[in-house]
Chain A
């Protein structure tokens, strides 16, 4: 069976122009630079990486809220990069988005009921009565009450608003929900509600998530597979278990090693990455990570590493993925100590309710 979403070579380059009257292109911001991944039906692919690595741009490209410069996006095997007009509208019904900031993602002038019903109105689904029934059902589904439909967004807390945003996304029964850091603006106890809700909804409705995050604890809880992005490209992609247990790319290792670890014996064994992320206007030649990679060699400066399958399901963009020295660190350790508290909290919240 072909995957629900298949992205290959996706790129977004923004021209940088100079000059007031005669504009001249002086450079290119390579926000997303050849990203490939796929999302299977019913699974969650997490896109992780530091700020500015192109995660959100990738999300918007997938939904065609911005137009890609290159690459293809296949939804159920059909290329959607060239789809226009009515066909695009039909596609939009099947892909929805949940935003990071619950305070900015709801129109303050629409009641919650109107906001949730709007996608149905746009796609001519049902009549007024059936839409209202659906709104009430969705509100219950995300743990709110039907009478909340008459209220305005400012009357809700951040977590409640985020759940309203999720209800809006689900109103047209999409197959794929792109979640752009859906919990990073919420505090930890509220995160538990939203993360658990999203998992429950996935189990019940068979949703697929493209889940963007930079919080590895949330990712560990949510994802089936993880793609690690750096400077607009995927460095490593693989199953959650394999990636956490045995990260192959030096960047993935650095990312995982950066998780705070309670074991003092670990001190000194972890060398944090030096330097800064290069500007996406001047992406380094060869491997884009070579400027900061502790294992970089001459070859890395010239040859762009392809994403190669190292073990089944785990693909790495590094020339030396097989031969890197094993730092002997237990990457899950940091998570099991510091962030597992959080994971435990998620589960506790769920148990208490059950």
Chain B
């Protein structure tokens, strides 16, 4: 069982479990955990799956995972916040990842990023208020041969310029200046 004894936490877990019973995605996540035999060392794999299903990790979801893997919630929260890949906030409908690896950087990825930031009116790591567009930076996506690279909704696009990038994200950020 969950290693928390206070009444409040127990209530929170009960609420999460009840909420989960009506959602198909929790069922899929449970199956995934079963495949890993509910082992604690599968935590990162499970969180990957959870983020894939839900888009981000909210408190209830982390409590759910903690409960099923028999881990303290602090451990799940600690892992989820340690790794950059996990996000605790919802992402926008469209995502643009600007690679800031060394090769991309010396070839002007910072200029591409600045152009998009200005156009969308948000900083890297933020989402527009209308939840349409998230701007993210990456440390290196390993596409250095075609630098600077930008990933638009999962599609790696080679040799970007500030103008080309603005053209791509034009439709996604309607509320920019």
A and B from one assembly?
A: no
Q: Taking beta carbons and an 8 Å cutoff, which residues of B are in contact with A?
A: none
Q: Taking beta carbons and an 8 Å cutoff, which residues of A are in contact with B?
A: none
